[in-house]
Each structure stands twice: as structure tokens, then as C-alpha cells.
Amino acid sequence: MKKSLSAILFFSVSLTLPAQVTTPFPAREGPGGGSFTSYVDPRIGTGDHGHVFVGANVPFGMVNAGPTQLETGWDWCSGYHESGTKIVGFGQTHLSGTGCSDLGDVAIMPITGDVTFSREGIATPYRHENEEVRPGYYSVLLDNHIRTEITADTRNAMYRITYPQEAVTQSLIIDLENGVGDHVLNSRLTFVNDTLCVGYRISHGWANVQHCYFAMRFSRPIADCWEFNTDCHYHRIDFEPSTEPLIVTISLSPVSEFNAMKNMVGPFMTFDYMREYANEQWNRNLARIQATFLNDRDRTIFYTAMYHFMVAPQIWDDENGDWRGADNRVYRLYAGQLPQDDGRASVAWPFGVTNASYLTTLSLWDTYRAAAPLSTIILPEMMPSVVETYLRIFREQGKLPVWHLMSQETDCMVGCPAVPILADALLKGYVKDSLAAWKAMASSLLMDERGLDDMKRLGYVANDHHGGSLSMTLEYMLADWAALQAGKAILNAQSSALGGSPAEMQQAIDNLDKRAHSYPNLYDSRVGFLRSKNSQGEFNPIDDFNPAYQTSDYTEGNPWQYLWLVPHDVPGLVAMLGGREAALKRLDGLFAADSQLNADANPDISGLIGQYAHGNEPSHHTAYLYALMGQPRKTAKIVKQIQRELYTDQPAGLCGNEDVGQMSAWYILSALGFYQVEPCGGRYVLGSPLVNEATLHVGGGKTFTIRTHGLSDKAIYIKRALLNGQPLQRQALDNARRGEEGALILDHADIMRGGTLDIYMTK
């Protein structure tokens, strides 16, 4: 159906869009002389099951603009996979590294002739050799000879589309029908004038009811426009042929079409300017760790990991501070709904995050383990925003986020994963209102949903009530431990102001303490593994029990992997297993076991060394348990094997889903030489560094420099370490006995004060 432009102009054609002030940054050069972005290869993770985003964005930006391929399925969770051969459109939102699909909102597709308006009909073949991908920029020459280039800033995508000179028609499809694994509920496209349109796409997918509003500006006047299919989710716009590229600017908002227009960059913004701006935003943030390596391969993997780590969480509020809450209500930052001293304008990041920004894409079950602790070190300015977002979500939906996506709670995965992150932030000094944080943590752990009613009544989640019950129980227990650490810190710091230790708070801490340490009740001595119980307190029969087999009791794992998910109480875990020597034998057995899984095991159980599964997060701390049990050389050996074998510089370079930065964060921390095993608190266990030297920018103008001495392919073991010239002491399992076989522990406060860590390596 052809649409008359004169009939659909309902806004004033003289509407003036506000200019978004942007300032170019000086180039940042890496230690090797090139820019940090030149060290990044975004193709890493596009093969196998990495599920990473490919396209143009800036660190933590709302917009992830890039190609959506025709192909669908589990390996297309981001809309892109190395094996894909056709592009169905260029969407403005994409996930990165998740195990579920969604988004792909507000797609555009340039065409030069008639097409069939269906997903298959508008899909166009292409070849990887005709792609160019680098941070903040994507380009592809489709087989129809149309070149599409994309760049982005925080809330805008900009396209430069070059049609073939011989093309008689130059058209653009605005596709509000197709996404990535979702379906559209409602959409609208309205023209403001002949170079500007606004609209929305409301969809159902992983995020139940997702609102995405947009404004779209064209560098040339529209000649004609058409709507297709009964629901009018496809729109074709025709332009007069020109030898000049068509520039399309698309801005997003979670709130309204009007806010999308307010978020749009001014018409002064050129494509090349925004591309350079995006490149420098990436350079500035990749430069938060300035590291050198023994070879270019390690450097490429490291800085690509930094790139993937900084895709999310994403800003999900407007330039004026408006946001759509987890209750689907619109909130106004400057309408009295937040304190005026929230500090939004006090600490502005170059890529748009402030310390009151509302964030989304919170893959917390994954990221509490390494990505969140890494953020507390190199992204201190971001932590107030993280804390504020969690507390806003708590106020909006009555509990802390579980897996927050585009203002929607998906309740994906098990446990209360926001609790360890919030407790970690509190213990490291990033929480302003500690009592509000405590209330959010304690309330979220004492609800009657998602198995927590069983935790209160039974001390575990019963397997006749919930699937994944053993995994749920262990995740709740480590969250209990994290919350009680925060509660203890609050009482110690504020007892005088509170008139002593409030009995109610102390009782809650005592209850959490009891729950956190009750995991031995689930140890089945008949088989030597943690297993679930039913509501009568009974284990399942042991007939045909195999620790390598995943059953419904375990979430994305099996008994081998979940035996070690007690990072908050390693001494207790060792005691449960019969003492240090017995525990070490069991840990040896994990890495030496046959890697065979049952046929219907979850595909996320990947990256196997024995039954250790690095491709999924519950295993990520396990190699560092050796050091805590008195055998740091074994930690070093396994960590180095993971670094060398399970991370590569090829498209299949990740052994599992990127999981919104967690796989990369493990690599970054381990390459620096340490890892936070406990869920919160900032005790980092040293392993085996990969860097020659690394300078971490930790905020406030301070730096922490790690220097390795004698590092080589064979010298992978730490002989000794000096913190600011003083020896780090080895700590034994009980933190009392010290000796050659203890773990080297680095405290978070020592890093954030700035200084040097000299690590001396040996064979």
C-alpha cells in the first residue's frame, strides 16, 4: 500500500532536533605503538558456540547495530554466526554471548529492486571476505553490490549506504517484523517530514514485553513510501537515485518516540566523525589496562576479551535521564523520583555512562564470578550506576534483578546472583546507602518464590518441587554467605550510630550464616558427591548414578562440576571431603576424569578438561582451589592450559558462550595473574600471569602495575611476589599456617591504592 507523505505529516516540519554535544578525544596508543582497537579481532567468538555480537557499538552503549542473518537457531542468539551466508537486515539491538535469543529491533535493509516482503524474501547473500569488522565500525558489500557501513555512539547508529551507480531505484526497507528469536506485538512508523520518521516496536521474546522507540533521519528526501503485509510491519522507502551515499541516523529510546528524537545527534554529525569518535571511545576504555605480552596472539586474545567484556551491561535510559522500569512504568530522573543529589552530572564518562545511569543486559548468574569483580578494579566510575540500577530494580519489582533485559525480568538461571555483586560493591566501598543495599539483599533472599520458600523451611530446595534443585541450593547458599558478609560489615561500621547491633539484623545474619554452611547436608557419602533431596529429606536412589551425567537436579552441569561450587567456604568443603589430601585427590580426579557426557547433556557443558567445564560458569573458580588447598603449582598448570587451549585467536576461539563478558573477564583476570574465588570481598588468589607487564588504571589518577620477571612458555610458576617491594606471604588453607605451599593472596584495597606487584616466575 502506497502512503502519501502529505497525509502522514503530523509533527511540525520545522521541528528542530537538539544537538548532542560530542567532543573528539586524543588518540590512545598501545604499548606496541598501535591503537588499542588495532589489537582487537571481533571475529573471535563468532564460530563454534561463542554467540558474540558483530557490528558497531561503543562501550556499554544502548545501541548494538549490526547484521542479522537469515539463519536461526541456538548459535544465532546474537543474530550472527560465522557459518551464516545471508543477511536479512541490520538491527539496532543485539545480544552478545548469551544462551538465549532476542532483540534485533528496528532493522533496515537497502535494496535496489522489487523483493518479496518476508524474512526469506528480503535476505541477501554475502561473503565474509567482503566484511570489515573493528570496534565501533562494521562494513559489508552484499552480493547485490550495495555497501552498508555502520558506526555508533551511545544511543545512535549511523549508516552510510552506497548503492551501485547503475541502480535505477534506491530503496530502504524499514523492517519492524523480524528480530532475533522474538515476534512483534505492535509497531508504528510515522513521518515527521520528508527526511525524518519516528516509531516503535513492541515485541515478545526472552524479554516478555519489550518497548523499543526510535527516530530515523535520512540525508536525502523521501520520494515515496509503501507499507506491506496486513500488519504493516514492513515499510519500503524510495529515494531519488544519487551518486552520493545515503546517510541514515537511527536513535533509540526505551521510553518514547519524542525521547528518541531528543537522543538523536544533530545534523552536523558526519559518519566519519562518529566513526572516529567511536574508535576513540574504545581506545580510551581498552587503555584502562595497558599490557604487553610475549607474542601478538596473546595480545589479540586479551584485548578482544577487553572488547567483549565492555559490550554490557548497557545503558537503558535516555539522555535526559528518563527510563522504563522493571514494572514497565516510565520514570523521570528530574521529576522528583530520585534525589536531586544523585550525582548524575558529577561524573560523566566519555561514552555516556554516569553514576546514575540505568543499566540493562544484566547476565548476573554468569558475571558475578569474574566480570563484576574486574569492573570494581578498572571501572570504578561505573559501580555507583551498577548499585543504583540494582536498587531501582528492587524498588520497581520487589526483588533484586536475576537476569534483567530491556526493562524486563526474565528470571533466567538460578540463585540470587545480584546479591554477591551488590555485597562485593558494598565491601569495596562503592555503596552509599548500605542499609538500603542490605534490605534489598536480605529481602530478595527471604522471598517465597523460585525455591526460596524451601530454603527457609528445609534449608535446601527440594527436587520434587523444582528442577535444578541442587544448583539452586548451592547458588542460594553462596548468596547467603555474601549477604551475611555485607551485614557484618554494616554492623561493624554503624553499630554506634545504630545504638548497638540491632537484634533483628543480627538474627537475619545468623540465619543466613546457618544456611550458607549447610551444604554438607546434601553430601551423599554413598557416591561422594553433592546431590539433591526431596521434601522428605531423602536422596534419590543411587542406581545408575554417574557423576558425569547431567540430570534434572543440575543446571547446565553435572555432579562433578557442582561438587566444587562452594567458593565461599573452601575450608568447609575440604573438611566435607575428608581433609586436605582427600580433597586434593578428588580435585585431581575432576581434571583426569573421562570427558564423556550423557547424550542429552546441556550443550553449555563445554570446554572440557576431564570433567572440568570451562565453557560454563560454575567451573570458573575451580582451578584456583588447588592454590587454596596448598598446591599453587597445580593451579598455575591448569590455568595455563586453559589460557593456551581453550582461548584462541580464531572465530572458534571461545570454548563456550561469551556470556555477556564473563568468559572474557576470566581470561583478563587470569592473564593479570589473579582471580577472586570467594563471591565477594576482594581476596584475589594468584595463579599464573600471562602479561609481561600491565598497568591498570584504577581510578582517581592511580595506577597498579604488574611486572613479571622470567616469564616464558615454560616458566609458568610463581616463585615469589613483591607488593611495593615487600614479600607477599603465602597463606595456608586455615589462614594461619604459612609456608611454601600456601596461596598468594592479593587484597583489593592494595590494588586500588596503586603501586606495583613484581612476580618472579620459575619453571
pLDDT value, residue 24:
38
Alpha carbons 308 and 58: distance in angstroms, whole number = 11
Q: Once rounded to an integer, what is the mean pLDDT over residues 23-27?
A: 38
User: What angle is formed at CA 193 by the lines to CA 192 and CA 199, rounded to 5 degrees?
Assistant: 30
Q: Express as a percent the part of the chain with pLDDT over 90.
A: 86
User: Coil, strand, or helix at residue 289?
Assistant: strand
Examine the domain organization and report whether 133 and 188 are in the same domain.
yes
**Residue 561 domain-assigned (yes or no):** no
Map grid coordinates 502512503 to a residue. 3
For 485-516, give the DSSP string.
Answer: HHHHHHHHHHTTTTTS--HHHHHHHHHHHHHH
Please provide residue 158's backbone torsions phi and psi, each rounded to the nearest 5 degrees.
-130, 135
Cβ-contact 743, 731 below 8 angstroms:
yes
Over residues 465-494, the mean pLDDT reads 95
Mean pLDDT value across the chain: 91
Among candidates 549, 640, 646, 578, which has minimal Cα distance to 606? Answer: 646
Q: Which structural domain, as residue segments, surrounds residue 251? A: 2-10+27-285
Least confident span in 151-160, 235-244, 329-338, 691-700: 329-338
User: What is the number of structural domains in the chain?
Assistant: 2
Asked if the model's pLDDT at residue 550 lies above 50, the reply is: yes
Nearest-angstrom CA–CA distance, 478 and 469 = 14
Q: How confident is the model at residue 730 (pLDDT cuts 50, 70, 90)?
A: confident
Residue 589 burial by Cβ neighbours in a 10 Å radius (0-12, 13-18, 19+): middle
DSSP string covering 224-280? EEEEESTT--EEEEEE---SSPEEEEEEEESS-HHHHHHHSPPTT--HHHHHHHHHH
Instruction: Kindly state whether residues 263 and 392 are assigned to the same domain.
Output: no
614 versus 492: the higher-pLDDT residue is: 614
Residues 485 and 434 in one domain: yes
Inside any domain, residue 760: no
Question: 584 is written with which cell numbers?
Answer: 586434593
Which residue, 493, 523, 552, sits at the end of a domain? 493
Q: Is residue 574 part of a domain?
A: no
**Is position 602 within any domain?**
no
- Residue carrying C-alpha cell 523521570: 332
User: What's the per-residue H, E or C state across 545-557?
Assistant: CCCCCCCCCCCCC
**In a domain? residue 716:** no
Same domain assignment for residues 173 and 228: yes
* Residue 640 covered by a domain: no
Residue 339: pLDDT above 50? no
- Beta-strand runs (E) in 369-525: 403-405, 408-409, 523-524
Q: CATH number of the domain at 93, please.
A: 2.70.98.10
Backbone angles phi, psi at 755, to 5 degrees: 140, -155
If asked whether residues 111 and 247 sit together in one domain, one would say yes
**Partners of 161 in the β-ladder:** 148, 246
Instruction: Give domain status of residue 207, yes or no.
Output: yes
Residue 727 lies in a domain: no
Choose one of 285, 310, 333: the last residue of a domain: 285
Cβ partners under 8 Å of residue 560, min gap 6: 529, 547, 548, 590, 593, 611, 612
- Mean pLDDT within 696-700: 95
| The pLDDT value given to residue 336 | 46
474 in the same domain as 346? yes
Interval 644-686: pLDDT, tens: 999 999 999 999 999 999 999 999 999 999 999 999 999 999 9
* Same domain? 269 vs 392: no
CATH of the domain at 355: 1.20.1050.60
Same-domain check for residues 175 and 251:
yes
CB 140 within 8 A of CB 67: yes
Question: Which sign does the torsion angle of CA 320, 325, 330, 333 carry?
Answer: negative
Pair 358, 270 in one domain: no
Q: What is the pLDDT, as a whole number, of residue 18?
A: 31
Closest of 482, 487, 559 to residue 516, by C-alpha = 482
Are 761 and 716 spatial neighbours (Cβ–Cβ below 8 Å)? yes
Do residues 259 and 381 both lie within one domain? no
What cell numbers appear for 558 in the block? 553435572
Integer-rounded Cα radius of gyration of the chain: 26
Query: Binning pLDDT at 50, 70 and 90, where does residue 493 land?
Result: confident
Do residues 277 and 387 share a domain?
Answer: no
User: In which element (H, E) is residue 453 found?
Assistant: helix 452-457
What digits encode the pLDDT tens for the residues 162-201? 999 988 899 999 999 999 999 999 999 999 999 999 999 9
Rounded Cα distance between 53 and 6, Å, is 39
Rounded mean pLDDT, 339-362: 53
Lowest-pLDDT choice from 7-16, 407-416, 591-600:
7-16
Residue after which a domain boundary falls, among 429, 458, 493: 493
Indicate if 332 and 192 belong to the same structural domain.
no
* Interval 122-135 mean pLDDT: 96
